[in-house]
Amino acid sequence: MDFSITILYASETGTAQDVAEQIWKSAKRKGLNSVVSALDDYDLANFDSERLMVFVVATTGQGDPPDNMKQFWRFLLRKSLPPSMLDNIRYGVIGLGDSSYKKFNFAAKKLNKRLAQLGGIQLLPIGLADDQHDLGIDAVVSPWVRELWEKIIFIYNIPNVNISNNIERIIERYKISILDDSKQRSSTEIAYYLETDIYTQEMNIKDELKIGVIIENTRTTAEDHFQDVRLIKIQREDIIYEPGDIIYVRPKNSLKQIEKFFNVLNDNNVLLHPDMIIQVSERQIKVPYVLKQTLTLGEIVAQYWDLNYKPRRSTFEILHQISENELEKEKLHEFTMPGGQEELYDYVNRPRRNIIEVLADFPHTTSKLNIQILFEIMSPIKPRAFSIASSAINTKNEIHMLVAVVNYKTKLFERRLGLCSNWLANLKVKSKIIFWIRKGTFIFPSNVPKILIGPGTGIAPFRSLLLEKAAMKQDLTTCLLFFGCRYKDKDYHCKEDFINLTSTTGLKLFCAFSRDQEHKIYVQHIIRENNFLCWEFLQNGANIYLAGNSKDMPNNVRDEFIDLVKENGKLTYEQAVNFIEQLEKNNRYQSETWS
């Protein structure tokens, strides 16, 4: 072909890279030239010569572009760029977002608009993938990619023979070599591969990476409470952060999961073992820095691959390609087809079935695995973000995290355990942890009254803010704090801190203990009881900050504010809605929620 497709991605966690590589692989199967790159690795000098570009962009926080997009975005916003700069470029943009956020897929939408302003020709409407959808992002990604190829085929008049989707051809990103196949340890010594941290070398190229030491890991909920929540304290000298900032950590797999993984391989006669020394080199895709070092397969399984990963459609495509068992191949094929997506959802998403369980369910197919294929079907562990719950002024050289340990039941026999939260909960005092800090989504102007709503672990960023203000001897009478949990005596996180703040600083604290009485009381009900006080604060220029679970709480709280504005301001419902929307538009109503 006389043209090349450039596929660029941007995200904090790596999901956009997965989608970009999926598009890149489909281009390769069609015999088309293509390159894939992170936006921050892209050479802007090539921009003028591009003809066909695809952008896969995740959105962070309050509609902000990911860190690895910011340099590219600053370039696009230059006023000196001519409006005809991209006249020769056709492009497509797909966003990866979460509809629980007000500014859903905002970064992708802004990019799509800016490319058009600079003369770019849109290949197809922007795709807005939603992590909240039952089928996850694939509900939008898969049909969007199909339409992308239909447009490219039509516009560039590509003969069908050149774009046949050769599903039997596996596109390999890396070249995997086994340098040493000798066994050094018995099968009972798998814990050995958790003792180091394979990301330590990455600190040589990333100054933001820090090593901290766990100095406290305390349960904040009663032992008989259904949920385990931890206040984890990390010590690191000369660490600087502000209220609202985020700490990122990258967890390791549990010993139990690692053993299960190797047992599944062994049970199906896959001749791979933890002591194999692996070398990963570039074939067609840039090798991640962490994989450039020589590692054992045990280290890769323990620390690089996500064993809790819920396989996406693309995983089943590869398994279908290697399968030689008629029944398994048919079922795997069904999962890859548009008509089989509901069944795929019922098999993977609804019960939260992980990659190990999938491999165990398809033993004949699993028996055909080799080290090369494993690198194509396994997904790397993605970093997790937590709101910092401490103040660098109040507790110098410390970072605190408030972590709800994920542990729940599905129709599967074994309970589902969150990878990161359970890893953190099991860290011992004196354990070392690699972390990095990023600016959070909350903006806390110093002299502005604040209404803070943080049920559950959503209280974390407000604990950070209030402890900092108290440490600086600032007046907290201009802050209203609404906290909610189930029971006053079972899951009132950091209770002593907030009681002390109310008695020493004038903080106004209101709590909703939903199960301490027959009828349930949530934070929106306590806001209703104090609606006139909230209205007074809003009239005095207060900002509203909300953090917590994204399911129902954010909408319920927002509706309550609409009602109190309507009642106290003597406004119509439409006027009250417009009032709240203006607050959101002016960053006076900020939300940070998660599913």
Is 521 annotated as contributing to ligand binding?
Answer: yes
Is 104 annotated as contributing to ligand binding?
Answer: yes
Tokens in use for 185? 């340890």
Tokens in use for 335? 């999962």
Is 227 annotated as contributing to ligand binding?
Answer: no
Is 220 annotated as contributing to ligand binding?
Answer: no
- Cα separation, 408 vs 418, whole angstroms: 9
Is 365 annotated as contributing to ligand binding?
Answer: no
Is 14 annotated as contributing to ligand binding?
Answer: yes
Tokens in use for 147? 């339409």
Q: Going by C-beta distance under 8 Å and a sequence separation of 6 or more, which residues neighbour residue 564?
A: 527, 528, 531, 534, 535
Is 101 annotated as contributing to ligand binding?
Answer: yes
Is 119 annotated as contributing to ligand binding?
Answer: no
Cβ proximity of 290 and 202 under 8 Å = yes
Is 105 annotated as contributing to ligand binding?
Answer: yes
Is 277 annotated as contributing to ligand binding?
Answer: no
- What's 450-593's CATH class? alpha beta
In 10 A of CB 566, how many CB atoms?
18
Is 470 annotated as contributing to ligand binding?
Answer: no
pTM for the model: 0.91
Domain boundaries, the chain: 5-156, 450-593
- Cα separation, 332 vs 327, whole angstroms: 9
Is 186 annotated as contributing to ligand binding?
Answer: no
Is 563 annotated as contributing to ligand binding?
Answer: no
Is 100 annotated as contributing to ligand binding?
Answer: yes
Is 431 annotated as contributing to ligand binding?
Answer: no
pLDDT 10s digits, 207-244: 999 999 999 999 999 999 999 999 999 999 989 999 99
Is 418 annotated as contributing to ligand binding?
Answer: yes
DSSP assignment of 501-565? HHHHH--EEEEEETTSSSS---HHHHHHHTHHHHHHHHHTT-EEEEEEESSSHHHHHHHHHHHHH
Name the CA dihedral angle for 554, 417, 497, 584, rounded to a multiple of 10 degrees. -20
pLDDT score at 163: 46
Is 2 annotated as contributing to ligand binding?
Answer: no
Q: Any bridge partners for residue 92, and if so which?
A: 54
Element (H, E) at 385: strand 384-387
Q: What is the mean pLDDT of the chain?
A: 92
- Cα separation, 519 vs 472, whole angstroms: 40
- 539: closest CA among 506, 572, 569? 569
Is 146 annotated as contributing to ligand binding?
Answer: no
Is 295 annotated as contributing to ligand binding?
Answer: no
Is 385 annotated as contributing to ligand binding?
Answer: yes
User: Which residue stretches of the chain have pLDDT < 70?
Assistant: 1-2, 60-63, 160-168
Is 298 annotated as contributing to ligand binding?
Answer: no
pLDDT above 70 as % of the chain: 97
Is 352 annotated as contributing to ligand binding?
Answer: yes
Q: Going by C-beta distance under 8 Å and a sequence separation of 6 or more, which residues neighbour residue 42?
A: 6, 8, 72
pLDDT score at 164: 44
Is 515 annotated as contributing to ligand binding?
Answer: yes
Is 341 annotated as contributing to ligand binding?
Answer: no
CATH number of 5-156: 3.40.50.360
Is 420 annotated as contributing to ligand binding?
Answer: yes
Cβ proximity of 345 and 270 under 8 Å = no
| Amino acid letter, residue 362 | F
Is 387 annotated as contributing to ligand binding?
Answer: yes
Q: Going by C-beta distance under 8 Å and a sequence separation of 6 or more, which residues neighbour residue 13?
A: 58, 382, 383
- Cα separation, 541 vs 326, whole angstroms: 68
Is 136 annotated as contributing to ligand binding?
Answer: no
